[in-house]
């Protein structure tokens, strides 16, 4: 009897290799195991629009030791249900059937209505043994953004801010492109790198007009590999000029002016196929979202230094007793929203 969790754990490891390049597709890895329990081929989804993990895995098998193994005696492990529809690539379930794989073990059913059990049923109808639900919790966690989009019909929302030891986001500054006083520097070089990693992991990044005017941010991913996120600007009064960095050619920018109500923004981003949005501020936007209650994670960096004067107060939330990490003396907290 094969150790199913061991091989699904391997697919999760492979799937993460596509983390920064496959969105809005899910991260998927595949492992082909022979009857003796040896891995004879692996693959993962490397880039949006490119071959899926199952195709990569079987292709690698065919380039390798094809003459020594019979696919009907092998088991294909995959962390997410093989697709059953034609999209940018043909159905993986159809390919698995045509290649004659003997058994398929699936970590999690695909919540996409175009699949949602149809891939598994297609395999079973073809006489292939299918096992479903191995390490399901871990499989859901890996693709929480993709799952949120299809189950909740909205992007996965991550709130991110850094605050001083005495609870301030910034000092009081003038919001102006003509006269710009630099922001209060809270994060360190290492914690800034973590922020850029988060930018690479999420499809979109959102700020309000106050932040765009005060900081003139480009909102790019420069301290971590991966794509620049789609920039989202809430600018109800149309204050941010078009020569601002947020409108550069480095990434797409979506602007909401007529309607900046949070539920409307989330619904519209979902219609655009955006499965995750990272909110970097400012205070007004963060408080609006926290009051609404529709968010999934908070990542809060607390500096070891105090501002020592009145400034822009951070959102008051109950922090865990223990931080998730301590970096350069800064406490990094993570909170999860309601399910």
Q: What is the DSSP letter of 66?
A: G
pLDDT the model gives residue 261: 97
Return the beta strands (E) in the chain as ranges.
Answer: 29-33, 39-44, 75-80, 103-108, 129-132, 156-163, 168-171, 204-208, 230-234, 253-256, 276-281, 297-302, 311-313, 325-327, 330-336
pLDDT average, residue stretch 141-158:
97
Question: Which residue in 110, 208, 113, 118 sits closest to 159, CA to CA?
Answer: 208
- Predicted pLDDT of residue 68: 67
H-run or E-run covering 158: strand 156-163
CATH of domain 153-336: 3.40.430.10
- At residue 260, the pLDDT reads 96
State the Cα–Cα distance between residues 297 and 188, nearest whole angstrom.
22
56 is catalytic: no
DSSP 3-state of 82: coil
Q: Tell me: pLDDT of 178 over 80.
A: no
Which is the catalytic residue, given 42, 54, 280, 301?
54
The structural architecture, per CATH, of the domain 4-144 is 3-Layer(aba) Sandwich (3.40)
Element (H, E) at 292: helix 283-292
Q: What are the boundaries of each domain within the chain?
A: 4-144, 153-336
Confidence of residue 29 (pLDDT cuts 50, 70, 90): very high
pTM of the model: 0.92
């Amino acid at each position: 009897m094969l150790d199913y969790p061991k091989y699904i754990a391997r697919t999760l490891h492979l799937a993460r290799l596509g983390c920064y390049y496959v969105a809005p597709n899910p991260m998927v890895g595949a492992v082909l195991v022979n009857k003796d329990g040896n891995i004879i081929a692996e693959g993962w989804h490397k880039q949006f629009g490119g071959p899926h993990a199952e195709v990569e895995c079987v292709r690698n098998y065919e380039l390798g030791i094809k003459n020594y193994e019979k696919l009907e005696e092998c088991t294909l492990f995959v962390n997410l249900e093989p697709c059953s529809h034609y999209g940018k690539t043909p159905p993986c379930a159809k390919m698995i059937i045509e290649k004659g794989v003997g058994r398929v073990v699936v970590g999690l059913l695909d919540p996409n209505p175009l699949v949602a059990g149809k891939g598994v049923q297609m395999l079973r109808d073809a006489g292939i043994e299918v096992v479903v639900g191995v390490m399901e919790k871990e499989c859901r966690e890996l693709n929480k953004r993709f799952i949120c989009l299809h189950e909740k019909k909205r992007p996965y929302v991550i709130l991110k801010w850094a605050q001083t030891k005495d609870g301030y986001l910034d000092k009081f500054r003038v919001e102006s492109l003509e006269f710009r006083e630099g922001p209060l520097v809270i994060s360190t070089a290492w914690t800034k790198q973590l922020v850029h990693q988060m930018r690479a992991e999420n499809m979109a990044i959102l700020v309000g007009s106050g932040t765009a005017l005060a900081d003139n941010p480009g909102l790019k991913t420069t301290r971590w590999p991966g794509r620049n996120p789609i920039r989202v600007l809430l600018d109800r009064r149309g204050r941010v000029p078009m020569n601002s960095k947020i409108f550069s050619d480095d990434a797409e920018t979506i602007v909401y002016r007529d309607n900046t109500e949070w539920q409307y923004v989330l619904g519209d981003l979902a219609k655009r196929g955006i499965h995750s949005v990272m909110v970097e501020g400012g205070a007004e936007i963060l408080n609006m979202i926290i009051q609404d209650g529709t968010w999934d994670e908070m990542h809060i960096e607390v500096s070891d230094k105090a501002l020592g004067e009145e400034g822009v107060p951070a959102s008051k939330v109950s922090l865990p007793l223990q931080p998730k990490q301590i970096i350069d003396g800064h406490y990094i907290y993570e909170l999860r929203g309601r399910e």
